[in-house]
Amino acid sequence: MRDPGVAVLSARENLEFETDLQSDVAPLNHLVEAMMGAGAIHVLRDPTRGGVATTLNEIASQSKVGIELLETTLPVKPQVRAACEMLGFDPLNIANEGKLLAIVKAEDAEKILNVMKKTKYGEEACIIGKVIETKNPQVRLRTAIGVLD
């Protein structure tokens, strides 16, 4: 299993898990090049520092938009979720090396996603949410029971 934030944490704190946690450091230049030829990209960000939640909150604040994440589409491996629950962490706040977050033109999203999936480091790419209009720039999570701000 690969997850850099939990892998680094387990190495630093000498924690042992019954699963193999590995870092995902990866060069993303070829992935980005493929994406740029597939459609309009508004924002590309690296969620290494602060994780997905912090990075998306920065984007929402700087761009004065809302971002709605769909909990059911978030690619958190069961082993990572279990480790985070055990340690009291939110997987959305864990560092993500070798990953990127892209805000793209809605009409181009599927085309860009398909191109990403054809590259070595984009095989697990997925759409995790959408930009929404709101009076307060924020990130919110749509869960099975409702929306969390």
| Count of domains for the chain | 1
Range of the domain at 122: 4-148
pLDDT on residue 39? 96
Which tokens go with 91? 């997987």
d(CA 142, CA 132): 12
pLDDT on residue 100? 95
d(CA 111, CA 9): 36
pLDDT on residue 10? 55
Question: Is there a contact between 103 and 39 (Cβ–Cβ < 8 Å)?
Answer: no
Which one, of 1, 43, 44, lies nearest residue 24 by Cα? Answer: 1
Q: What tens-digit pLDDT sequence spans the chain (149 residues)?
A: 345 455 555 555 555 555 555 556 678 999 999 999 999 999 999 998 889 999 999 999 999 999 999 999 999 888 888 888 988 989 999 888 889 999 999 999 999 999 999 999 999 999 999 999 899 999 999 998 987 77
CATH number at residue 41: 3.90.650.10
pLDDT on residue 79? 85
Question: Is there a contact between 46 and 31 (Cβ–Cβ < 8 Å)?
Answer: no
